[in-house]
C-alpha cells in the first residue's frame, strides 16, 4: 500500500530510524565485522587485513558482486532471477570455448557471451511480462532449461582461456585485484543508472507499485524486461570472470557456489526490500563484502566450511528481521 | 438534451452519443456530455449507472463502441491514457496513484521525468513541482518529502498536482474526497475553486451530494447507462436530484424506528472507556436498539468501534455485555463474547475476494470458533436468503459480486455467529440505493430480534433516519446524546464542539 | 435493482476446485501414454511402482501446499530431507532397535524446524522466502558440521521397510507401504482442507486482515502451515531414506521440484487459490512425466529442460486468459 499512512509526528524513534538507513547499517556492520574479525584472527597470531586478506575478500566479492548487482535491479522491480547460477556456468563455457586459447578471439568471445546472456534475460523478461508468469516460476523454468542443456552437452570443464584473458582474473594493483575494481566500476554504473536516469526511476516505480507506474504512463513491461536483460548480462560477466580465473569454462561453477540464492541473500542483506521499490546497489555491495569477509575470517580461523553456512543463514535472517523492525518503527 | 453552457465559449470537451458494452451488457447508451473551461461539472448516479465508464472513456482507458469525443471541434476519441494525457485530459483516481517511498517531485513527474544530458534533471523537477504547488496556494508541501510522510489531504493535493502537471485543460476527479477527513475537504474545495479560476474544466464524480451542490455549476445525472438530465445546479434541489438518480422520492427510505416496547435490557455498556485516541467514553446500547454514532471524520467514531471490538482495545474503563464485565483484547475475544464488527473497508478488511460466498460467509464462524463452537447448526442457504443476497450460488467468488451484494456477504458472515452486539462502520459506503435499503431493512430486522446495534455513518440523513438515539463525538470524547430524529444542525453543532442551546 | 433473489437452485454436484481440471487432464494423458510406451504399465503393478516413486514428492507437495496457499514459501524442505536422512543414519547406525525412537524423533525435528520457520516469519515479519532460505543454509551447514562432511552410519532394515517393501493384496499384487501411507495422508489432507481450519488457511492467503478481524489466529495458522510442511519433509525423508538409501544428495533440489509440482497443480504463488489434491496431482504428473521420458529414452539432461518448459507453460496457460484482477501487493 503505497500512500495510505498518515504522517506521524517526529519522534526520537523516527530520528533513530532515519539514522539507521539499511545502507548505513550494512556498512557499520561491515566495519564492526572487520574489527571483530581482526581481533579474533590476531588472537590466533594471524592478520585479517594484510595484503593477502584484502585480496582474498575482494576476489571472493567479485563474482558474487557482479551477479548481485544485476539481481539488485531485478529485485527492485519486485521480481527475482533464479536462473543466474546456471547462466554463469553456461556463459563461462561459451566464453572459454569461443576463445579456444586464441587471444585474438577474446573480444568476439566476450561479445558473444554477453549477447547470449542478454538473450536469456530477454526471454526471462518476455515470459514474465507477456506470458504473465510469476518471476519465480519463469526464472526457475529457465534455470532448469539451461541445466538440461548443460547436463546433456557437457560432462566437465571445456574450452581454453588464453593467458591474456587470464590476466583479467589475476592482475592486481597492490593488494587490489583489477577485476574487483571493474566490479566496483560496474556497481557505480548501476548506481548511476538507478539513481540518476529515467530508466532507474522507473525501476523503483515499478517495484513500488506496478499499477501506479502503469497508470502514470510508464511502460512497466519494458522496465521489467530491461532489468532482466541487465541482470543476465551481469551474470554473463561473472561467468567470464570465473572462466578467466579457472582457465576454462565449467558448467557447474555457478551452481556449486549457489550464486542464485546467494546473490538474493546478498541483495536482501544489503537492505533491498524483497518486494521491490526500496534499496539499492550500495547496500548490495555492502552485503557482498560482509559475506566475503565472513568467509575470509572463517578461513583464517580454520573453521570448517559447514559452520559458515550456519552463520550465513543466521546472519541473513537476523538482518532482514532488523530491517523489518526498522520499517515498523517508521510506520 | 444539452443545456447551453454557462459561458459563450466553445466546450473544451464534447462527448456525443457515447455507447459502450462490456461482454454484451450495455453500460452506456447514447450519452452526451459537454465540459466548459472554468466549469465544475458534477457527474452523479447510483453505482453501476455508468459514471466511471464514461469517465474512463474520456480519459482514454476505454474506447467507446459508439459516439465521439471531440476536443476543440476535432474527433479525438483516445486509444490510451497516454494519448488523453497528451491532449490535456487528466484523471485523479479514487485510489491514490502515488508511490509512498518516492518524493513528491518524483511522483508528480512519474513517467515524464525531465532529462538533461542523459540524467533526470532533479533540480528542474523539484522547481517545477514547487511552482505547481505554489500555483495552487499549497506552500506547506516540500517537493523533496517522501509521499509516505504526508497527511492524506496533502497526498490528495499531490495527486491533483500530478494530474495538472501535464498541462491539463480537463481534469476528471473520481470521488476525490473519499479518503479525506472533513476538515481536509475544505482544502480540496479551495483547490477546486482555484482550478476553475484557471479555466480548467473539472468533471467531478461524487456520491456526496453536499459536495456536488457546493462545488458544481452543472449536474449530469446518469441512470442505468442513460442520461437522465443535465441541469444547472442552481435549478435543482437535493430532493429533485435524488429522485433523478433513484427514480423514486427520498421518503420512505428508512424502516420504522423501534418503539419502546421492543427495547430490551442493556446489552452493551461502556463506562469511562479510553485509550490513546479516546477518553471518557460511556455508552449503553439496549437490545432492539440502533444507536447512531455521529461525528466528523477523525473524531474517534471508528476508534470507539475498534475499541469495543477488540482491535485497538480500551486501555481504561470497563465494558459490560449483558451485565457481566468483559475485556475484549482481540477481535477473537470480542467475537467470542458475541460482538460483531462490520468494518468500513469492505474489500481491504472484510472479504477474502477470491474465495467463494460460502467460504466468506463461514469465515468468522470457522476462524473464531474452531471446533468447539458452541453455536447451533447453520443453514447456509437460509442465512444467505435472510440477507437477500443475489449471487450465482454459494460457490461464486465474491469478487464477482456487486458492492451491495458483497456487503450482504459481510453481514452474513457476522450473522453466522449469532452476535448479540453488532457494530457497523459505514455499512452503506459505496453501494447503490437499492442495496442500501436492503441493508437498512436487515439492520432493523436484526434489532427487532434483540440485537444491540451501534452504527457509524458519515451520511447524516442515513444516520438520523436509522438511529433510535444518536451519540455525537468530538475529538475523542462523547459530546452529547440526541433522541431519535434529531436535526442535522443539532448533530453538527455537537460534532463541531459547540453546546446545544437549552431548548 | 432488477436482480431476482435466488440463492441456490442448482443440484449439488462434485465440483473440481479451480485449477484442478488442467492438471488432471495432463495427468490422465501421461498415464495413458505410459501404458502404451511401457510394458510394465499394462498391469496395476506398474502404476503402483510409479506411485511408490512419486510418494515422497507428493507428500512434500501436501506440506508445501499448506505454506504456499497461506501466502508463503518453504525453501528449506530439500535440506531438511537430507538432514533427516543423514541424522537417521547416524543415530540408527544399523541398529534395529533404534528405529523405534528415531522415527518419532525425525517427525519432531521436522515439526520443530517448521515451527522455527513459522515463528520467525510471523513474529519477526521476515519474508518466508528469506527465512526458509536462511534455514536451508543453516541446515546444510549444521548437518555436515555434525557428521563431519560425509554421511556416516546406516539405516536399519526396519526403517527401510516403509520406503521399500509392500504387502500382498489380491488382484493388485504387492502394494507398497508407501502407497498406503500416501493414501492415508491424502485422505487426511483433503479432510483437513475441507474443514474450518483448512478453509481459513486459504482465506489467510487471500486476505489475512479479514481473517484477523474475523477472529482468526493468523500467526498461529501460518506457523501451523510451516510445521505441517516440516513434518511432511520428515515423512518424505523416511520414505526416501528407505527407497534410495543414505546419501548427502538425497534432498538436493527437492525444494524447487516440489514448488514446481504445486504450481503445476494450479496453486497460485502468493496464496489464496488452489486445492491440495491438485498440488499432489502436480507432483504425480511430474513423476509420471519423468517416467515417460525415461521410457522414451530421453537423456537425463533433457529431463530438467522439459521440466522447465512445462512449468513455464503451465503457469502461462493458467495466467494468460484469466481476467486480470487488480491486486495490491502485500509484503
Asked if the C-beta of B388 comes within 8 angstroms of chain C's C-beta atoms, the answer is yes
Query: Which pLDDT score, from 0 to 100, does residue C81 have?
Result: 95
Most confident of the following: A2-11, C227-236, C286-295 = C227-236
* Residue A9 in domain: no
* Residue C126 in domain: yes
pLDDT tens string C33-73: 988 888 888 788 888 889 999 999 999 999 999 999 999 99
Query: Which pLDDT score, from 0 to 100, does residue B8 have?
Result: 57
Inter-chain touch B352–C199, beta carbons under 8 Å: no
* Chain C residues whose beta carbon lies within 8 Å of the beta carbon of residue B334: 215
Task: Give the chains touching B; criterion: ≥3 Cβ pairs < 8 Å.
Answer: A, C
- What is the dihedral sign for C-alpha B305, B309, B315, B321? positive
* Residue A21 in domain: no
CA–CA dist A78, A75 (Å, integer): 5
pLDDT tens string B387-404: 989 888 888 889 888 888
ipTM value for the complex: 0.84
Asked if the C-beta of C267 comes within 8 angstroms of chain B's C-beta atoms, the answer is no
Of all residues in chain C, the one with the smallest CA distance to A265 is C130
Inter-chain touch A201–B112, beta carbons under 8 Å: no
* Residue C327 in domain: no
CB pairs B-C closer than 8 Å = 106
CA–CA dist A70, A124 (Å, integer): 14
Count, residues in chain A: 331
* Residue C324 in domain: no
**Grid cell at residue A295:** 568467509
Asked if the C-beta of A76 comes within 8 angstroms of chain C's C-beta atoms, the answer is no
Higher pLDDT: B7 or C94? It is C94
CA–CA dist B474, B499 (Å, integer): 11
CA–CA dist B233, B212 (Å, integer): 8
CB pairs A-C closer than 8 Å = 162
Closest C-alpha to A234, from B419, A154, C98, A242: A242
* Residue C13 in domain: no
* Residue C8 in domain: no
CA–CA dist C175, B287 (Å, integer): 63
Inter-chain touch A140–C306, beta carbons under 8 Å: no
Of all residues in chain A, the one with the smallest CA distance to B150 is A7
* Residue A157 in domain: yes
Query: Which pLDDT score, from 0 to 100, does residue A5 have?
Result: 39
CATH number of domain containing A271: 1.10.3470
CA–CA dist A226, A222 (Å, integer): 6
* Residue A6 in domain: no
Task: Give the chains touching C; criterion: ≥3 Cβ pairs < 8 Å.
Answer: A, B
DSSP per-residue letters across B17-83: EEEEEETTEEEEEEEEEEE-TT-EEEEE--TTSSHHHHHHHHTTSS--SEEEEEETTEE---SSHHH
Query: Which pLDDT score, from 0 to 100, does residue C325 have?
Result: 37
- Quote the domain boundaries for residue C193: 21-34+42-317
Q: How many domains does chain A have?
A: 1
Tell me if C265 sits within 8 A of C21, measured CB to CB.
no
CA–CA dist C73, C269 (Å, integer): 8
* Separation of CA A62 from chain center: 9
What does the DSSP 8-state code read for residue C150? S
Inter-chain touch C203–B334, beta carbons under 8 Å: no
**Grid cell at residue B214:** 457546493
Query: Which pLDDT score, from 0 to 100, does residue B501 have?
Result: 64
- Quote the domain boundaries for residue A261: 49-330
Q: How many domains does chain C have?
A: 1
CA–CA dist B180, B173 (Å, integer): 14
* Residue C14 in domain: no
Q: Any residues with CB less than 8 A from the CB of B130 and at least 6 apart, and which?
A: B143
Query: Which pLDDT score, from 0 to 100, does residue B237 have?
Result: 84
Return the half-sphere exposure (C-beta side, CA atoms, 13 A cut-off) of residue B269.
11
Query: Cell 539451461 maps to which residue?
Result: A146
Question: Which parts of chain B have pLDDT scores under 50?
Answer: 1-6, 250-252, 503
With cut-offs at 50, 70 and 90, classify the pLDDT of residue C6.
very low
When mean pLDDT is compared across A119-123, B69-73, C137-141, the lowest value belongs to B69-73
CA–CA dist B267, B289 (Å, integer): 10
Inter-chain touch A196–B152, beta carbons under 8 Å: no
Q: Would residue C321 be called left, alpha or beta, if left means φ above 0 and alpha means ψ between -120 and 50 degrees? A: left
* Chain A residues whose beta carbon lies within 8 Å of the beta carbon of residue C303: 148
Asked if the C-beta of A260 comes within 8 angstroms of chain C's C-beta atoms, the answer is no
Asked if the C-beta of C134 comes within 8 angstroms of chain A's C-beta atoms, the answer is yes
CB-count exposure of residue C209 (10 Å: 0-12, 13-18, 19+): middle
Could you tell me the strand order of the sheet in which B266-274 lies? B281-286, B266-274, B316-321, B324-326
CA–CA dist B334, A126 (Å, integer): 50
* Chain A residues whose beta carbon lies within 8 Å of the beta carbon of residue B98: 2-3, 212
Q: Residue B3, SS3?
A: coil
DSSP per-residue letters across A95-125: HHHHHTT-GGGHHHHHHHHHHHHHHHHHHHH
Asked if the C-beta of B341 comes within 8 angstroms of chain C's C-beta atoms, the answer is yes
Instruction: Look up the pTM and report it.
Output: 0.85
CA–CA dist B166, C311 (Å, integer): 43
Inter-chain touch A142–C133, beta carbons under 8 Å: no
Query: Which pLDDT score, from 0 to 100, does residue C76 have?
Result: 95
* Residue C11 in domain: no
Q: How far is C105 from chain B (nearest CA, A)?
A: 29
* Residue C212 in domain: yes
* Residue A219 in domain: yes
Tell me if B213 sits within 8 A of B235, measured CB to CB.
no
Residue in C4, C8, C214 closest to B364 by CB:
C214
pLDDT tens string B192-236: 888 888 889 999 988 777 788 889 999 999 887 888 889 999 998
Tell me if B401 sits within 8 A of B347, measured CB to CB.
no
CA–CA dist A283, A268 (Å, integer): 9
The Cα angle at residue A277 between residues A276 and A283, in degrees rounded to 5: 85
Amino acid at each position: 500500500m503505497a500512500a495510505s499512512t498518515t504522517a506521524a509526528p517526529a519522534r526520537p524513534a523516527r530520528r533513530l530510524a532515519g539514522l539507521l538507513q539499511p545502507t548505513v547499517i550494512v556498512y557499520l556492520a561491515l566495519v564492526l565485522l572487520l574489527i571483530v574479525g581482526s581481533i579474533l584472527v590476531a588472537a590466533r597470531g594471524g592478520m585479517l587485513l594484510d595484503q593477502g586478506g584484502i585480496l582474498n575478500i575482494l576476489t571472493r566479492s567479485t563474482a558474487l558482486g557482479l551477479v548481485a548487482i544485476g539481481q539488485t535491479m531485478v529485485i527492485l522491480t519486485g521480481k527475482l532471477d533464479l536462473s543466474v547460477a546456471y547462466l554463469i556456468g553456461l556463459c563461462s563455457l561459451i566464453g572459454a570455448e569461443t576463445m579456444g586459447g586464441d587471444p585474438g578471439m577474446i573480444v568476439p568471445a566476450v561479445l558473444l557471451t554477453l549477447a547470449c546472456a542478454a538473450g536469456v534475460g530477454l526471454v526471462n523478461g518476455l515470459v514474465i511480462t507477456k506470458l504473465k508468469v510469476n518471476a519465480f516460476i519463469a526464472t526457475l523454468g529457465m534455470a532448469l532449461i539451461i541445466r538440461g542443456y548443460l547436463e546433456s552437452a557437457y560432462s566437465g570443464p571445456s574450452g581454453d582461456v588464453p593467458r591474456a584473458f587470464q590476466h583479467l582474473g589475476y592482475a592486481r594493483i597492490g593488494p587490489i585485484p583489477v577485476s574487483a575494481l571493474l566490479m566496483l566500476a560496474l556497481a557505480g554504473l548501476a548506481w548511476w543508472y538507478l539513481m540518476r536516469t529515467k530508466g532507474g526511476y522507473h525501476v523503483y516505480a515499478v517495484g513500488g507499485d506496478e499499477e501506479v507506474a502503469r497508470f502514470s504512463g510508464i511502460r512497466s513491461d519494458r522496465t521489467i524486461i530491461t532489468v532482466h536483460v541487465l541482470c543476465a548480462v551481469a551474470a554473463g560477466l561473472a561467468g567470464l570472470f570465473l572462466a578467466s580465473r579457472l582457465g576454462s569454462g565449467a558448467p557447474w561453477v555457478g551452481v556449486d557456489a549457489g550464486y542464485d540464492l546467494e546473490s538474493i541473500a546478498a541483495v536482501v542483506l544489503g537492505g533491498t526490500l524483497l518486494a521491490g521499490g526500496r534499496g539499492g546497489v550500495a547496500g548490495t555491495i555492502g552485503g557482498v563484502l560482509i559475506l566475503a569477509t565472513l568467509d575470509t575470517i572463517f578461513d583464517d580461523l580454520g573453521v570448517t566450511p559447514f559452520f559458515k553456512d550456519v552463520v550465513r543463514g543466521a546472519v541473513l535472517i537476523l538482518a532482514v528481521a532488523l530491517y523489518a523492525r526498522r520499517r515498523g518503527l517508521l510506520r | 438534451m444539452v443545456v447551453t453552457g454557462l459561458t459563450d465559449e466553445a466546450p473544451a470537451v464534447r462527448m456525443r452519443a457515447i455507447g459502450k458494452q462490456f461482454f454484451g451488457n450495455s453500460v452506456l447508451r447514447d450519452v452526451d456530455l459537454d465540459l466548459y473551461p472554468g466549469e465544475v461539472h458534477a457527474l452523479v448516479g447510483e453505482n453501476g449507472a455508468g459514471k466511471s465508464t464514461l469517465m474512463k472513456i474520456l480519459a482514454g482507458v476505454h474506447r467507446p463502441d459508439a459516439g465521439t469525443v471531440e476536443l476543440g471541434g476535432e474527433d479525438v476519441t483516445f486509444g490510451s491514457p497516454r494519448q488523453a494525457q497528451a491532449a490535456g485530459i487528466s484523471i485523479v483516481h479514487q485510489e491514490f496513484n502515488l508511490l509512498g517511498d518516492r518524493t513528491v517531485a518524483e511522483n508528480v513527474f512519474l513517467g515524464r521525468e525531465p532529462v538533461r544530458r542523459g540524467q533526470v534533471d532533479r533540480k528542474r523537477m523539484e522547481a517545477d513541482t514547487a511552482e505547481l504547488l505554489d500555483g495552487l496556494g499549497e506552500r506547506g508541501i516540500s517537493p523533496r518529502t517522501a509521499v509516505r510522510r504526508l497527511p492524506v489531504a496533502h497526498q490528495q493535493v499531490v495527486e491533483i498536482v500530478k494530474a495538472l502537471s501535464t498541462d491539463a485543460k480537463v481534469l476528471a476527479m473520481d470521488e476525490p474526497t473519499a479518503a479525506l477527513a472533513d476538515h481536509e475537504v475544505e482544502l480540496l474545495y479551495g483547490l477546486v475553486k482555484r482550478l476553475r479560476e484557471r479555466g480548467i474544466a473539472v468533471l467531478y464524480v461524487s456520491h456526496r451530494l453536499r459536495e456536488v451542490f457546493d462545488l458544481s455549476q452543472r449536474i449530469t445525472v446518469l441512470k442505468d447507462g442513460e442520461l437522465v438530465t443535465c441541469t444547472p445546479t442552481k435549478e435543482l434541489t437535493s430532493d429533485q436530484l435524488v429522485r433523478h438518480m433513484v427514480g423514486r422520492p427520498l421518503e420512505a427510505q428508512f424502516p420504522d424506528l423501534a418503539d419502546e416496547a421492543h427495547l430490551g435490557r442493556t446489552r452493551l455498556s461502556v463506562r469511562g472507556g479510553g485509550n490513546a485516541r479516546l477518553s471518557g467514553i460511556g455508552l449503553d446500547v439496549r437490545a432492539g436498539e440502533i444507536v447512531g454514532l455521529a461525528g466528523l471524520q477523525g473524531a474517534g467514531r471508528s476508534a470507539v468501534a475498534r475499541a469495543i471490538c477488540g482491535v485497538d482495545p480500551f486501555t481504561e474503563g470497563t465494558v459490560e455485555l449483558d451485565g457481566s464485565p468483559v475485556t475484549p483484547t482481540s477481535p477473537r475475544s470480542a467475537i467470542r463474547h458475541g460482538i460483531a464488527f462490520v468494518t468500513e473497508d469492505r474489500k481491504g478488511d472484510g472479504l477474502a475476494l477470491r474465495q467463494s460466498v460460502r467460504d466468506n460467509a463461514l469465515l468468522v464462524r470457522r476462524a473464531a470458533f474452531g471446533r468447539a463452537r458452541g453455536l447451533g447448526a447453520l443453514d447456509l442457504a437460509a442465512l444467505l436468503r435472510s440477507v437477500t443476497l443475489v449471487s450465482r450460488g454459494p460457490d461464486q467468488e465474491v469478487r464477482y459480486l456487486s458492492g451491495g451484494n458483497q456487503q450482504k456477504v459481510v453481514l452474513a458472515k457476522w450473522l453466522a455467529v449469532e452476535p448479540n452486539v453488532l457494530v457497523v462502520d459505514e455499512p452503506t459506503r459505496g453501494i447503490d440505493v437499492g442495496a442500501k435499503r436492503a441493508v437498512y431493512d436487515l439492520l432493523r430486522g436484526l434489532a427487532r430480534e434483540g440485537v444491540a446495534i451501534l452504527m457509524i455513518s458519515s451520511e447524516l440523513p442515513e444516520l438520523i433516519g436509522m438511529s433510535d438515539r444518536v451519540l455525537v463525538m468530538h475529538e475523542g470524547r462523547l459530546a452529547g446524546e440526541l433522541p431519535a430524529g434529531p436535526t442535522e444542525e443539532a448533530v453538527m453543532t455537537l460534532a463541531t464542539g459547540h453546546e446545544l442551546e437549552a431548548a | 435493482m432488477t436482480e431476482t433473489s435466488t440463492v441456490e437452485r442448482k443440484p449439488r454436484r462434485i465440483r473440481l476446485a479451480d485449477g484442478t481440471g488442467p492438471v488432471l487432464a495432463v495427468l490422465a494423458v501421461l498415464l495413458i501414454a505410459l501404458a502404451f510406451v511401457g510394458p510394465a504399465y499394462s498391469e496395476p503393478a506398474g502404476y503402483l511402482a510409479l506411485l511408490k516413486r512419486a510418494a515422497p514428492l507428493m507428500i512434500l507437495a501436501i506440506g508445501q501446499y499448506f505454506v504456499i496457499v497461506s501466502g508463503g514459501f518453504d525453501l528449506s524442505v530439500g535440506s531438511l530431507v537430507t538432514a533427516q536422512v543423514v541424522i537417521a543414519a547416524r543415530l540408527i547406525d544399523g541398529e534395529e532397535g533404534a528405529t523405534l525412537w528415531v522415527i518419532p524423533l525425525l517427525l519432531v525435528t521436522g515439526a520443530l524446524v517448521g515451527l522455527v520457520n513459522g515463528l520467525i516469519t510471523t513474529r519477526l515479519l521476515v519474508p518466508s522466502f528469506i527465512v526458509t532460505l536462511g534455514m536451508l543454509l543453516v541446515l546444510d551447514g549444521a548437518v555436515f558440521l555434525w557428521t563431519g562432511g560425509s554421511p556416516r552410519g546406516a539405516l536399519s532394515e526396519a526403517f527401510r521397510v516403509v520406503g521399500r517393501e509392500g504387502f500382498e493384496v489380491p488382484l493388485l499384487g504387492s502394494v507398497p507401504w508407501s502407497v498406503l501411507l500416501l493414501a492415508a495422508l491424502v485422505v487426511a489432507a483433503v479432510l483437513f482442507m475441507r474443514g474450518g481450519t483448512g478453509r481459513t488457511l486459504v482465506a489467510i492467503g487471500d486476505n489475512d486482515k479479514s481473517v484477523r478481524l474475523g477472529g482468526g489466529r493468523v500467526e498461529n495458522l501460518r506457523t501451523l502451515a510451516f510445521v505441517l510442511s516440516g513434518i511432511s519433509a520428515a515423512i518424505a525423508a523416511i520414505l526416501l531414506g528407505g527407497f534410495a538409501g543414505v546419501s548427502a544428495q538425497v534432498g538436493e533440489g527437492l525444494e524447487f521440484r516440489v514448488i514446481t509440482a504445486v504450481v503445476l497443480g494450479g496453486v497460485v504463488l502468493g496464496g489464496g487459490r488452489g486445492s491440495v489434491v491438485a498440488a499432489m496431482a502436480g507432483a504425480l504428473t511430474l513423476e509420471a512425466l519423468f517416467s515417460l521420458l525415461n521410457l522414451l529414452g530421453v537423456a537425463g539432461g533433457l529431463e530438467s529442460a522439459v521440466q522447465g518448459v512445462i512449468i513455464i507453460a503451465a503457469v502461462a496457460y493458467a495466467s494468460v486468459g484469466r481476467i486480470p484482477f487488480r491486486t495490491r501487493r502485500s509484503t
